[in-house]
Chains A and B, each alone.
Chain A
Amino acid sequence: MATLTFQEMILALQTYWAEQGCVVLQPYDTEVGAGTFHPATTLRVLGPDTWKTAYVQPSRRPTDGRYGDNPNRLQHYYQFQVILKPSPDNVLDLYFDSLRVMGIEPKEHDIRLVEDDWESPTLGAWGLGWEVWLDGMEVTQFTYFQQVGGFECRPVPAEITYGLERLAMYIQGVDNVYDLIWARDEAGQIFTYGDVFLKNEQQYSAYNFEVADIDMLLELFSVYEKEALRTLEAGLVLPAYDYVLKCSHAFNLLDARGALSTTERQGYILRVRDLAKRCCADYLDLILEPGATDTSPDEDTPVDEEVVR
């Protein structure tokens, strides 16, 4: 098999997971920090129903911007996200088969699953799983969600998150993300990742670190927060959740601008978490028969403490 381009890799993953019965979604149309924040993960992992989905999610981490100078770090990058609820018994085999469709034969490599306990303070979520190492390179995070929004996940979903750029760099044997081949036509014309995104990284890094208007962002955070609460009051959890995502992105930009002290930072994280938890609770109310289950959140599990059985 010829080495896959970046887009061929995405297509191969989409086709593969579609064949496994996943709903192939498109990226969520709001800025998020990771594929986990897509409502198809955050909200739909809750509740008793079966759910299988796969999608690419552009992810924004303003603080990771490096003005296009760093070969590995980007403020905007792509995750490929898979959710399988309940986690099937052969979920790891399914994952390893997905590497095969991208031309990676696991038995020709040194593959290790290295303990990685995931937690998201902003989502009130945690789970256990691994980093998947391919010849020493972390290419995927694999998590069995245990709790989201403070609610136990029953059944337990498995989340598979591929770092697409890293995986592509490995597959294409490239040391600089901007040299990745995104697309190649029959005449051999090539578009690289740099062709597509270098200017974005330069401009957005400058914006995130230097230009973004702090007062406006502080104002927006409050406005979004208010709108989220108002929309929740109106019984509309799905649009309300959009405003939680907007709060979260405003917070990330404020963080990149260095506008928040340690204490303030903690305060904003807690405000986002409170909103996210309320959305999770209201979402459960929405999908469950009234009174079918107790949807008051479980005791706040302090996410920095070990969860002991």
Chain B
Amino acid sequence: MKIKDEKKDLLFEIGTEELPSKPLNSALTQLAVLVPELFENARLDHGTISIYATPRRIALIVEDIPLVTEEITTEYKGPALSASYEDGDPTKEPTKALIGFSKSKGVGLDAIEIRPIDGVEYTFVATTEKGRRAQEVIGDILRQILTGIEWPKTQRWGTRDERFSRPIRWLVALFGGEVIPLEFAGLTSGRSTRGHRFLAPQAVDLSMPKEYHHVLKGNKVIADPNKRRNVIIRESQDISSEFGTALLDSDVLDEVVNLTEYPTGAVGTFDEDFLRCPREILEYAMAKHQRYFAIERSDGSLDNHFIVISNGDPAYQESIVKGHERVIRARLADAVFFYDEDLKVPLDTWREKLDRVVFQEKLGSIGDKSRRMSALIDFLAKCAQVSVDEQADATRAAQLSKADLTSSAVIEFPNLQGVMGSYYALAQDESAAVATAIREHYRPRYSGDDLPSTLIGKLLSVADKMDTIAGIFVVGRAPTGTSDPFALRRSAIGILHILREDPFIDIDTLIKASLDQYLDVIDFDYDATYQAIGRFFTSRLEVILRDEGFDGDVVSAVLASCANNPADATLRCLALEQFKEHPDMIDLATAFARAKNLSDHAAGTHVDLSLFGEPEKMLHDALDRIEADEPALKDDERYRELLEGYASLRQPVDTFFDEVMVMDRDEDLKRNRLALLNRLVNVVERFADLGQLAIKK
């Protein structure tokens, strides 16, 4: 085999102390892009790239790398022949232009070639960049990998200035059987890797990249995170089958994959008595505190077994599990203690404690907030036209919604706010509707989360979020750039999603109702705040609609007319998105933009029919027809038909512009025609600012 065709594999392993899980996953995602890019930049050909990681290492294997980089020939065009030599004759003296060109390419005049382009002779130079030895190039690539990963946090260690997520302790760089020399942070690369920290602590030499997985496996390390994940899933399912189904919480799964080099699943038990606690507490303690998987019985209830993914030696599993059982017992005993203690306290007592919990420095306590929420939900309930009973439930839910914030369980497990409140409400004979609303009023907590399942829950969620938005705007802490400490954007998006599903109030009325609650709390510029919150909601609605795939021009057109009603805005976007490619619509959009440019508020919309010629009359009649149909079509949300009506305006509008001189010298005629155009703009804009569709054409 010729050297030229010979290929070798590369192994690079960065040996570290235990890397944090999430940043490690992000590093792997980055490497999947970075590594091929570095090879490409170095013009080094390669086969499959595989990236592996455990808590103690990041590794990559790149197959089939040639021993030299590609040779590159580049041709440069120089001056025309006529400008290159005296009289354009190559046998005569070269010109300054040619000498300069050849010098700039680093070649002598003997390397000049001459070829015609489109019948004109030009000079050319071809330069060849020799292939570099792969070994040198790989050294550079590996250095760039070490410094090219972006970590959310980095540290220094010992006396070194280099930074990494955690200290680097060894480097393996093997190209075929040869070590690629590399120095970093006082370490020199070699062929020596490490096995499991405790089960195979000695250094192990690797002779070839190909034996990497085999050697590591023999030393109790599964280098491929996907394989560890599969082992964990399979073992969890197997072990749990005796008791039910393992609940494989995805965050926990991601983390235990990166907490173990040699995972083994084992089952532990806790006292059945703990099951009288709300399952959310038990699941939270198991998942968030201990990284265990809970098990659900076939009847849907929680089982008193759990799965622990151990990084230890299976031979000692029994005593390892005993240790874990003791830890979870202590955790759950704490949780049960909190729960039992909490149950002894009436919710209304906690409610009083809320007066001592600060909501925001200038806006008083959480107690104040829940009183504002109660007032606001009364108003919302009226808007939603709920029954008398529901009205009472809504008020009660608002009064109690924040009470659990002072309970021991929520102080210990903050993520269970709302959930614990609903259990405590039920235990104290509040209605199921009240309990459900309390439980669900923090929804949606993240993008894609469920909305509250009941109307009262929705009212409560909107009241809570709107009160926060209004209050924070009132004290001038509206979100800026990336700073949104009160998560107002998420709150606004939550409100918009709820109102799209259940449009019980429009945005303007909602903002005002909430701002009114602050009139007695603090001095503020009501109108400016109201406007600012309105713009804030419009911008969030725009983001939602664009994220759902509507074109920007459609969204802008609709929101110019309908930002106040998110449900209706969505329907309008749907209709307009489908209809905007209609040929009449495209023309109408242009005509509409023109009409809008000309429109003059001073001219009003009252027209004098006696001054009309035929084109004006045609347009006027067409508008009459549309206005006659409009209420029924809007009520039934038959927006396509409405749009068809608008499209039918195209012809009269075009005729009007073709045949009528709007800016007539006769002031009366001019005013009358402007009034007609104003009317056109008014009618169409009640649906959308169609001019937005024309802008990009």
Contact = CB atoms under 8 A, between A and B. Distances in A.
B226 interface: no
Interface string A246-276: 0000000000000001110000000000000
Interface stretch (B14-22, B79-87, B613-621): B14-22
Interface string B228-262: 00000000000000000000000000000001100
Interface stretch (A2-10, A83-91, A181-189, A214-222): A83-91
Contacts of B18: 112-113, 115, 130
A261 B361 CA distance: 10
Given A113-B55, A136-B290, A262-B358, A89 B158 contact: yes
B159 A155 contact: yes
A113 B17 contact: yes
Contact of A146 (B156, B329, B361): B156
A89 B169 CA distance: 7
A146 B158 CA distance: 11
Given A86-B158, A107-B198, A112-B260, A135 B327 contact: yes
A128 interface: yes
A109 interface: yes
B323 A109 contact: yes
Question: Could you say which interface size class chain A belongs to?
Answer: 35 or more
A114 B323 CA distance: 17
Interface stretch (B310-318, B486-494, B590-598): B310-318
A86 B323 contact: no
B55 A127 contact: no
Interface in B313-352: 313, 316, 319-320, 322-324, 326-330, 333-334
Interface stretch (A17-25, A29-37, A199-207, A301-309): A301-309
Given A155-B158, A308-B152, A137 B259 contact: no
A144 B17 CA distance: 12
A92 B17 contact: yes
A108 B166 contact: no
B62 interface: no
A110 interface: yes
A96 B199 CA distance: 13
Contacts of A77: none
A134 interface: yes
Contact of A109 (B167, B316, B328, B333): B316
Interface residues of B, number: 46
Interface in A104-126: 106-115, 117
A296 interface: no
A107 to B, nearest CB: 4
Contact of B324 (A86, A110, A156, A308): A110
A156 B326 contact: no
Contacts of B152: 306, 308
B154 interface: yes
B156 A115 contact: no
A111 B290 contact: no
Interface string B152-183: 11111111100101110100000000000000
Contact of A309 (B154, B290, B319): B154
Interface string A132-159: 0011110000001010000000111000
B333 to A, nearest CB: 8
Given A137-B327, A263-B361, A108 B313 contact: yes
A170 interface: yes
B621 to A, nearest CB: 65
A5 B197 CA distance: 28
B155 A146 contact: yes
Contacts of B160: 156
Interface string B4-36: 000000000000011011000000000000000
B151 interface: yes
Contacts of A308: 152-153
A113 B166 CA distance: 12
B311 A110 contact: yes
A156 B156 contact: yes
Nearest to B266: A110
A108 B55 contact: no
A261 B356 CA distance: 9
B419 interface: no
Contact of B20 (A86, A115, A127, A173): A115
Given A175-B329, A262-B358, A108 B319 contact: yes
A107 B327 CA distance: 19
A87 B166 CA distance: 13
A142 B312 CA distance: 20
A71 B327 CA distance: 12
B543 to A, nearest CB: 25
Nearest to B260: A112
Contacts of B125: none
Nearest to A132: B18
Nearest to A69: B337
The CB with the most chain B CB atoms within 10 A, among A113, A175, A263, A306, is that of A113
A156 B330 contact: no
Contact of A156 (B157, B320, B358): B157
A263 B153 CA distance: 29
B200 to A, nearest CB: 9
Nearest to B187: A89
B308 interface: yes
A263 B357 CA distance: 12
Contacts of A88: 158
B197 to A, nearest CB: 8
Contacts of A87: 157-158, 167
A170 B18 CA distance: 23
B155 A135 contact: no
A48 B320 CA distance: 42
Interface string B636-658: 00000000000000000000000
Interface string B475-503: 00000000000000000000000000000
Nearest to A158: B157
A87 B155 CA distance: 12
The CB with the most chain A CB atoms within 10 A, among B169, B197, B328, is that of B197
Contacts of B17: 92, 113
A110 B153 contact: no
Contacts of B320: 109-110, 135
A112 B197 CA distance: 10
Interface in A175-196: 175
A106 B17 CA distance: 16
Given A112-B260, A130-B18, A136 B159 contact: no
Nearest to A114: B259
B350 to A, nearest CB: 16
Nearest to B198: A107
Nearest to A72: B330
Contacts of B55: 113
A293 to B, nearest CB: 15
B341 to A, nearest CB: 11
Contacts of B313: 107-108
B327 A156 contact: no
B152 to A, nearest CB: 6
A125 B308 CA distance: 34
Nearest to B55: A113
Given A109-B312, A156-B155, A175-B330, 10 more contacts: A89-B169, A106-B197, A107-B199, A108-B316, A109-B323, A110-B311, A128-B155, A134-B323, A156-B159, A306-B153
15 contacts: A86-B158, A92-B17, A108-B316, A108-B319, A110-B308, A111-B312, A112-B259, A114-B259, A135-B324, A137-B323, A137-B327, A155-B159, A175-B329, A262-B358, A308-B152
Interface of A: 71-72, 86-89, 92, 96, 106-115, 117, 127-128, 130, 134-137, 144, 146, 154-156, 170, 173, 175, 261-263, 306-309
Top 9 A-B pairs, shortest CB-CB distance? A135-B323, A115-B20, A110-B312, A113-B18, A107-B198, A110-B310, A136-B324, A136-B327, A155-B159
Interface of B: 17-18, 20-21, 55, 151-160, 163, 165-167, 169, 197-199, 259-260, 290, 308, 310-313, 316, 319-320, 322-324, 326-330, 333-334, 358, 361
